Structure 1
Amino acid sequence: MKGLFKSKPRTPVEVVRQTRDLLIYANRSSDTRESKREEKMSELSKLIRELKSILYGNSEAEPQAEACCQLTQEFFKENTLRLLITCLPKLNLETRKDATQVVANLQRQQVHSRLIASDYLEANIDLMDVLISGYDNTDMALHYGAMLRECIRHQTVARYVLESAHMKKFFDYIQLPNFDIAADAAATFKELLTRHKSTVAEFLSKNYDWFFAEYNSKLLESTNYITRRQAVKLLGDILLDRSNSVVMTRYVSSRDNLRILMNLLRESSKSIQIEAFHVFKLFAANQNKPPDIVSILVANKSKLLRLFADFKTEKEDEQFEADKAQVVREIAALEPRDRP
């Protein structure tokens, strides 16, 4: 008989409320009856999958705007996000993946033209501390890392992370021996330093000294090839961004920075050489080169010109060739300056 009377489908609000109740149970539970706990955790997994299905749609239906709106409103009304984040280690792997996708989607859901996730996170910014410290936990790192990248789509959240003590930890996370976690941390680091232009420019200006000291020593001079390659590419992206022009001018006025870039130009890896060139060209193009920069370039003039004579990209690249020709002209024209 049971099959004849299908239960009425749960509304999005009900799904969120039931999820919240079970998350509270999972958080507090000291239930000694294993079977009871398993049953509840299994139900929680189903509910989280249902949340995902409402937000993303499924093989049978596209997501419905009204359902997504109701779900989002209910989700951020109370502490469901906090509960979900803190309970994540207690969920099984598939449910963690579903939960990560739910959190990611909710960052983009608008209710009455507002990203209410942003308002919630602003009021609960300490959740970022939990997500970032996930990089210290092998099981949680990729889930929390993915959530973190979605959360820093919100400028206030990105600013908090940039200005926090956590920022220094990324230099170590990027070099973790676990390749997947290191790559995830590098992706988050890149997002933090490229997404919100004005916030990044302000951060780099305020924190120039320690940030680039760490960047140079831990990333550009890392013994790890992948770390060096990613770091020099990201450095180019940062310095070539117009919003960072003040920082760029300062960076290319330093002889230590020039020395590091010239070493990267001599790497056996073509991709590192090319990325290093994109930063080096900024030193060459600087029309107000400090005397010590000029003297280093003059002292290495013949070596640099020889290097650039054979310097090619794998595919023909007109812009690269034009940049290279300009750099060669700049260096060829340099003359030793008489020191006062």
Structure 2
Amino acid sequence: MKSLFKAKPKTPADLVRQTRELLISVVERNSDTREAKREEKLLELSKTIRELKSILYGDSEAEPVSEACAQVTREFFREDTLRLIIVSLPNLNLETRKDATQVVANLQRQQVNSRLIACDYLEANLNLMDILIKGYEDADMVLHYGAMLRECIRHQSVAKYMLESEHMMKLFDYIQLPNFDVAGDAAATFKELLTRHKATVAEFLSKNYDWFFAEYNSKLLESSNYITRRLAIKLLGDMMLDRSNSGVMTRYVSSKDNLRILMNLLRESSKSIQIEAFHVFKLFVANQHKPAEIVGILVANRNKLLRLFADLKTDKEDEQFEADKAQVVKEIAGLEA
């Protein structure tokens, strides 16, 4: 007889609704709620989030089922559950935070009727990015909120909002913080914003050239921190060599101040920084419309540059690098003041 009264298994949508109810109780944290009762709710919440993660990612026994994933996704964005899970994250234990982060990340990629409904939701709730970016001010939350933020940036409209907001300026400061986890995660988000959506990035750099590169040069390329300088020169090369940014690149390599910074980076003791700096420096030399002041600096430093390039080699044989270097040497040797 017992089998007749077994609980009906929860559907994926039921699980999301249950998660939502538990999240609300965690957020409210009524003063009359006993601590034991609250711990019970948190344990139940951990279990439901783990089950949602299993539906979305599959497990060792089964691959994810597309219809179940679609049910979870629809229900998740129907009643603002994404906001609840983000706001509630600091109240969860470490393992549950990890599971919740993976659930939020996966939902950004789930299509329902061939649409990324997460994108529609975030466009209507862009202030969620304001919550996620504050994770860089909390060392306990940074890795979770940072991972969520980068997944949300997959959507072009979200990336555009971030680029055009005050948060872009804040990232320069977060990257310089002494906490390695915070600085490293902020740098990862910064790179994602400046490389994922080519046309959006090109428009942003064109409109914000002056303040952006003033900050980039002084705070990143001339940072006293070796790791910051190395990441910054690598990212600069990625941006300058991208065809979408050709107009910005031409403007950048026409500046004598930028050239001086690059020449200083070429003199670094770190070979990796030297190599990355060379990839940007060669653009100054290759510019067919070099301003006279750029030519003057290159001619004045010709002998030093040629000696430096004679010793500059990659760890592994790289024919393209050697060809580029030979061309740069030829160009500099042939310059006339």
TM-score (norm. length: structure 2): 0.98
Say whether 1:77 aligns with 2:84. no
Q: Deviations over 1:14-59 (max 9, x none)?
A: 0000000111111112143111111111101111111101000112
List aligned pairs for 1:143-162, cutoff 5 A.
143-162=144-163
Q: CA shift at 1:311, angstroms? A: 1.1
Q: CA shift at 1:101, angstroms? A: 0.2
For structure 2, the 5+ residue unaligned runs are none
Q: Name 1:236's counterpart in structure 2.
A: 237
Q: CA shift at 1:7, angstroms? A: 3.4
Sort the Cα spacing of 1:2 and 1:86 in 2 relative to 1 into closer, same or farther, 3 A: farther
List aligned pairs for 1:137-216, cutoff 5 A.
137-216=138-217
Say whether 1:245 aligns with 2:246. yes
SS in 2 for 1:316: coil
Q: Deviations over 1:113-146 (max 9, x none)?
A: 1000000000000000000111011111110000
List aligned pairs for 1:45-124, cutoff 5 A.
45-124=46-125
TM superposition outliers: structure 1 runs of 4+ over 2 Å: 1-9
List aligned pairs for 1:313-324, cutoff 5 A.
313-324=314-325
Q: Deviations over 1:293-322 (max 9, x none)?
A: 000000000100111111110100000001
CA distance in 1, matches of 2:203, 2:3: 62
Q: Deviations over 1:211-240 (max 9, x none)?
A: 000000000000000000000000000000
CA distance in 1, matches of 2:5, 2:235: 59
Q: CA shift at 1:2, angstroms? A: 7.5
Amino acid at match of 2:8: K
List aligned pairs for 1:298-337, cutoff 5 A.
298-336=299-337
For structure 1, the 5+ residue unaligned runs are none
CA distance in 2, matches of 1:181, 1:3: 53
CA distance in 2, matches of 1:9, 1:310: 70
Q: Name 1:16's counterpart in structure 2.
A: 16
Q: CA shift at 1:8, angstroms? A: 3.2
Amino acid at match of 2:251: R
CA distance in 1, matches of 2:108, 2:166: 24
CA distance in 1, matches of 2:180, 2:310: 36
CA distance in 2, matches of 1:142, 1:7: 38
SS in 2 for 1:133: helix
SS in 1 for 2:313: coil
CA distance in 1, matches of 2:178, 2:186: 12
SS in 1 for 2:176: coil
Between the two proteins, the alignment pairs up a number of residues equal to: 336
Q: Name 2:228's counterpart in structure 1.
A: 227
CA distance in 2, matches of 1:254, 1:295: 12
Q: Deviations over 1:161-207 (max 9, x none)?
A: 00000100111111111111211110110000000000000000000
What's the RMSD between the two structures over aligned residues?
A: 1.2
